[in-house]
Chains A and B, each alone.
Chain A
């Protein structure tokens, strides 16, 4: 089985970010590079479920050379091979999710895969576009937020568990090729191993540029749909009230709604005094909201 795991080098958003007024660009100079936690979890989940003799895992990233550290971490975490896609003509700031998906697609076509895996979300700004975008480009099956995998006895198919409603899991199989995404908490990456790190440092990393991908300029460049206007410090979000349609919002509530995306709740239903009464109202409420069905 050939498996490709797409990984991204991200700035460690748990570090200090200074943002006190609207700016064009966030000052990220104090942040260190780290592997996107969801991608690391994705690699770990697949490696834990598919041992080396059953499947070869290649990790791939679209990044300049500084990201090779991330690939080494992957090689020390169970990946068999590593590929870095980059070209001198590429500029990090100009690459949007669509173009990265395009480049990954070209590389995957070259390398061939039965299963493509990526993290379901980025650490800093990504929305999780890459997985479904690759499924679209590869015309592959798409399973999002997988947290468990089992290879069948005949090694021909995989059973996946996917996060479904209310903590339930959907048990699902699919046709090949398949693209799956994995949440950051689906699997805990292995502790750093001295020996694995040393072995990993010796594995040659394949470098693919636009020429080796057979890319023509217009094939992979895309205009971003979103234009970043500015970054601002986080605004408080106020929760919207369950509005009775006949009660219009007061001017203050309207202001709050415009600014924070929701009018602040007014305390509605306060029951004091009698515990019996409180209990009855409570159960009535739950039944009315269909949280309880008697």
Chain B
């Protein structure tokens, strides 16, 4: 029986989560080195619609557990499904992105299987003797700790979304789909009553999905308002660099950079008028999409950007606002 590397392919709002695509890419890389199979777990009430994507992003085999009772995430049900497969398989590693549900699941799986667990890894590499060497930050990131895990045991690996990036899709990849038995599910011990949506005015910087950051390119505090219409269209939270906080133009809770004590990894980090000190970049470089608006083409942030708009932010921002309005109008006309 070949060794497997498992990946939990999480989906949200009818889409595969990008963090899961990252996990598939990681798993694929390791599997290729080791001659293992990548087996993805798709769990939900309509899980089967993602099988093609999961395969094209790296899975050899997809375990599909589809059942109305799996509409919501439930630790007990997921544990049951994973455990049912564990009995029959030799699992080398289990990759789960550290989303809110992912972290909860990953830790519990490690407890259930009494196996190794590593989170927020910097690098993970297989050794010639098939053991795994993984480096993790310790002491608030002041040091890195190199850990070794035996080859004979399973290892659960939880990685922060955005930390490794998505490897390309290969639509020509072939894979198997196995529809698994999801009929007799245990009762969930938790009952979901509902959700409270995040308020862009109060949500914290490390939780928000999108961020619009202001820097020294803004001449006055009032000018930062230029970002607001764009931020509102996206639902982004407005934050800023350290000089902005030092001037009192943004509160400490909206600071981006190492001195905030946090690294953020939003889906979008729009950096306006920020050249990008080391300190700032360290605090946001894991962002999935970085867009930079700056006069200076040579600014450090430009090198990091997925897209850089070189020009005067005082011209570009209003222009973006106009473009957004006109697109919205066109949509309503449809």
Contact = CB atoms under 8 A, between A and B. Distances in A.
A208 to B, nearest CB: 22
B141 A245 contact: no
Contact of A265 (B135, B303, B312): B303
A239 B304 contact: yes
Q: Is the interface of B mostly helix, strand, loop or mixed?
A: mixed
A77 to B, nearest CB: 22
Contact of A226 (B101, B149, B167, B169): B149
Given A165-B99, A262-B165, A136 B191 contact: no
Contact of A275 (B203, B207, B315, B327): B315
A275 B267 CA distance: 24
Given A129-B110, A285-B291, A244 B147 contact: no
B142, B167, B168, B302, most chain A CB atoms within 10 A: B142
A286 B268 contact: yes
A95 B315 CA distance: 61
Interface in B306-334: 306-312, 315-316, 319-320, 322-324, 327-328, 330-331
Given A26-B139, A124-B138, A243-B168, 16 more contacts: A14-B140, A17-B143, A101-B111, A124-B139, A166-B209, A172-B192, A232-B144, A232-B146, A233-B143, A239-B304, A243-B165, A275-B311, A276-B319, A279-B322, A282-B307, A289-B268
14 contacts: A17-B143, A128-B103, A128-B119, A132-B107, A136-B108, A164-B195, A166-B208, A170-B192, A228-B147, A232-B146, A245-B168, A265-B303, A267-B302, A275-B319
Interface of B: 12, 15, 75, 99-101, 103-104, 107-108, 110-112, 114-119, 121-123, 133, 135, 137-150, 153, 155, 163-170, 189-198, 203-204, 207-210, 233-234, 267-268, 285-286, 289, 291, 293, 297, 302-312, 315-316, 319-320, 322-324, 327-328, 330-331
Query: 5 closest pairs, A vs B, by CB?
Result: A245-B168, A240-B165, A167-B198, A225-B116, A167-B203
Interface of A: 11, 13-14, 17, 19, 26, 98, 101, 123-125, 127-129, 131-133, 135-137, 140-145, 159, 161-175, 178, 185, 222, 225-235, 237, 239-246, 258, 260-262, 265-273, 275-276, 278-283, 285-286, 289-292, 294
